[in-house]
Structure 1
Amino acid sequence: MATGLANMNDVIDDISSCIRSANTKELSKYFSSTVSMTLLNDEGIYSRVQAEIILRDFFGKNTPTDVKIAHRLDSNPSFRYVVLNLETSKDTYRVSYKLTNNDNSFQVTEFRVESVY
């Protein structure tokens, strides 16, 4: 298993591929115990399990067809910020998430899905 900086950057790619494949079970492993989540017009603080259920429901209605990383901020040792363009069978969304370094592993603390107008 990779350690150090390489591992931290891989987290971004791993999360992107979870989103691309709509694998919420794998994706939720990256969530902190609570996640601040905005999904279109709904927002709240959810447990890891609740966040996974909400995303599973979203992906059930919006099958991902493509994911492109639009922006990544990964130079700070204590957090990462990523913006993805998510194309689904129905629409295009902007997905952004913030990872916070917790005991040398990055965890998703904020996750947003917004419509692209």
Structure 2
Amino acid sequence: MKKLLYIGILFLIVLTYTQAKTTTTQSNSIEEIVVVFQSGSSKDLAKFFAQGIDININGNQGDYSKNQAEVVMRDFFKKFPPIDFQLLHKGNNSEQIIYYIGSYKSEETAFRVFIRGRKEQNEIKVYSLDIVKN
């Protein structure tokens, strides 16, 4: 009987740890995106992109593959190196669809950033990125 009790307690501990790890992974994804925007790394940002992504930078809009989107963002970060990025709002339309609004500042210009994504296997996959000059 004691063996069964110990196995039950061990199972609950493992289950609790797994749930906590999943929650931490989910909440860290947006924090990682914030850090990436602050550093201006297109390569790290591309890790969050879905296979196809819609990017709109001040009216220049296009549908890109993950690799093409990385090049577009590399050009953006090169032209407007980051000074600061702050997350202003986060929300979700459903269990799977999420969106974020941020403020991106470069030396010359400030931008509003709209990020839309899906939750897939405890990761955020960004499928739309709008960057609009303030």
Answer with 27-36 or 96-105: which moved more. 96-105
Gaps of 5+ in 1: none
| Selected match of 2:33 from 15, 33, 37 | 15
Cα distance, 1:101 vs. partner? 1.8
Larger strand proportion of the pair: 1
| Selected match of 1:73 from 86, 91, 107 | 91
Work out the number of aligned pairs and report it: 115
RMSD, matched Cα: 1.6
**Does structure 1 conserve the Cα–Cα contact (< 8 Å) formed by 2:51 and 2:65?**
yes
Matched, 1:92 2:92: no
Instruction: Provide the TM-score with structure 1 as the length reference.
Output: 0.90
| Selected match of 2:130 from 109, 112, 115 | 112
Matched, 1:101 2:129: no
Instruction: Provide the TM-score with structure 2 as the length reference.
Output: 0.80
| Cα distance change on mapping 1:76 and 1:3 into 2, 3 Å | farther
Equivalent in the alignment of 1:30: 48
Q: Which amino acid is 1:23 matched to?
A: S
Cα distance, 1:39 vs. partner? 0.9
Cα distance, 1:76 vs. partner? 4.4
**Does structure 1 conserve the Cα–Cα contact (< 8 Å) formed by 2:29 and 2:123?**
no
Equivalent in the alignment of 1:43: 61
- 1:75-99 CA-to-partner distances (Å, cap 9, x unmatched) read 8431221111001011000011111
Provide the C-alpha distance between the structure 1 equivalents of 2:21 and 2:107, rounded to a whole number of angstroms: 36
**Does structure 1 conserve the Cα–Cα contact (< 8 Å) formed by 2:25 and 2:122?**
no
State the percentage of identical aligned residues: 23
